[in-house]
Amino acid sequence: MGKIAFVFPGQGSQTAGMGKELYESHEQAKRIFDEADKKLSFPLTQLIFNGPQEELTKTTNAQPALLTVSTAILEVLKEAGIHPDFTAGHSLGEYSALVASGAIDYSDAVFAVRKRGEFMEAAVPNGQGSMSAVLGMDREKLASVTESVAREGQAVQLANINCPGQIVISGTAEGVQKAGELAKEQGAKRVIPLEVSGPFHSVLMQPAADKFKDTLESIHISEANVPVISNVTANSMTSPHEIKERLIEQLYSPVLWEDSVRTMLDSGVDTFIEIGPGKVLSGLIKKIDRQAKVYAISDQETLEKTLEALRGKTE
């Protein structure tokens, strides 16, 4: 059997009611939810289970909510004796990956991502920044489009390199619109504006990164027990110093998701387990390598199915 990677979704996967079944049936999952409420002095669990969805989707709430649900599932998986050889997460998901690798304690991570959400929300006034997904264009061509718009004075850049033919751009509302129009003129199949509250993973997030440094200084980061693939470099990281540096850079740098998956494949990973709500990463991984075995665990049913499949492979 090849190696296993645990991968964790980022913002956008949140839905009211996520994780409730696990909370009710697993003591270790319940403990994670209870710890979130205590650490944040705020009834996050109630918001996760009951919504409203609009409130849950706010960056400051979505980030700790997703981390909490992913970590609750992770705890149940660990109890079942499944352990990864690598971990990785998409943007916010990198914090779940760091918890899974033993580099950051869950209670420190939930505090950090709540702050991260606050700083990201505050960095750019609502409506001044935006993001769009560009489909059917390769990254070199799209990079030259964004660079030409940026030279005209509107910040815009590649933000998420998700899989072949799916790249997200981010920047000022005007910059993203111009780059989207230019991309279509130059052969992009579609440009889809995203429902986000800010221009994440762009230079406009630099003020958030500057403020976030103090938060990261206040929490303890340990040597990772399992290599974490960094969004910023697509290489593995284990040292506390590097982890801290990369988490700051991650706020204004592109998420190299396609490259990160290829790094894991090249390192012998043949099985990816997506831990958290939705199946976004599973879909991206399949587009990067059709041969990869991909499982997505978001609730009790998918947990049981995955455990059954993995036990079948190891016996």
Positions annotated as catalytic residues are: 91, 201
Question: Distance between CA 110 and CA 253 in Å, rounded?
Answer: 22
**Strand, helix or coil for residue 105:** coil
Beta bridge mates, 158: 169
Of the candidates 100, 116, 127, the one whose C-alpha atom is nearest the C-alpha of residue 273 is 100
Q: Which residue has the tokens 């199915």?
A: 305
CA 217 to chain centre: 21
Tokens 């340990």 appear where? 222
Q: Where are the alpha helices (DSSP H) in the chain?
A: 20-25, 27-40, 44-50, 53-57, 59-79, 93-100, 106-123, 139-151, 173-185, 206-217, 240-250, 257-266, 280-288, 300-314
